[in-house]
Amino acid sequence: MKVLIVEDNTNLADVIGMGLSMEGMQAKAVYDGRDAVEELDNGEYDMVILDRDLPGVHGDDIARMLNERHASTYVLMLTAASQTEDIVQGLNLGADDYLTKPFEYAVLLARVNAVRRRKERNRVSTFHKGDFEADFHTGIVAVSGRRLRFGARELAVLQTLIEANGGVVSTEELYQRIWHDDHAHTRGIVKTTIYALRTKIGIPDFIETIPGQGYRIP
């Protein structure tokens, strides 16, 4: 799960990010509202841990922006504004959850893990289109009954494209989701993996390239 931590207390942000990374999540910390907007414009995050009183762009404006976009990003406000009216206002702005400072890290982690479990339950487990069928629980993919062999990252790319439900997934998003912690590769590995998938599947136009945008399974 990809988590963006938006917090101007750099020590706190880094500690949260380190803790979530140790739990196997892709966690990135930014310390300014402008940087947060840039991150959210250029990549998809499953969750944002969001302070309210931020420099650059206020946290309320970021929550409002995500709400207006109908983004699937889960927003957890983490803030010192602890009055009842503050909490109500934050939730009305589009936050999905609200945690006040000071807080126990175990409570924060439990809430993040609850979101992760929900995300995992909503993942596509099986897919069927024409002669193509895939079961991501077992890793079995077949075309016309013929089983194909895929590596773990090939399967991850395929599942990500399928879960986009016909939407375009950018090269950057695929790279960040699947090769995020592997510095041995460049973004060219995405193109190589798409080529391998197309070759193995063998169905013309099964994976479309949208010039300047990315890839999709229509």
**Nearest by Cα to 8 from 39, 77, 54:** 54
Give strand pairing partners of 135: 126, 140
Which position has the token pair 């300047």? 212
**Measured distance CA(133)–CA(139) in Å, rounded:** 11
Phi-psi region for residue 60, left (φ > 0), alpha (ψ -120 to 50) or beta?
A: alpha
pLDDT (0 to 100) of residue 142? 94
**Measured distance CA(199)–CA(205) in Å, rounded:** 11
Q: Count Cα atoms within 13 angstroms, Cβ side, for 201.
A: 23
Low-confidence ranges of the chain (pLDDT < 50): none
Contact of 192 with 174, CB cutoff 8 Å? no
**Nearest by Cα to 65 from 140, 1, 6:** 6
pLDDT (0 to 100) of residue 2? 87
pLDDT tens, 158-167? Answer: 988 988 888 8
pLDDT (0 to 100) of residue 151? 87
pLDDT (0 to 100) of residue 172? 85
Give strand pairing partners of 147: 142
pLDDT tens, 94-106? Answer: 888 999 999 999 9
Contact of 170 with 42, CB cutoff 8 Å? no
**What letter would DSSP give residue 71?**
-
Structure tokens given for 140: 């079995």
**Measured distance CA(41)–CA(148) in Å, rounded:** 36
pLDDT (0 to 100) of residue 199? 94
Residue type, 164: A
Which position has the token pair 């439900």? 165
**Nearest by Cα to 29 from 62, 51, 56:** 51
pLDDT (0 to 100) of residue 181? 58
Q: Count Cα atoms within 13 angstroms, Cβ side, for 194.
A: 22
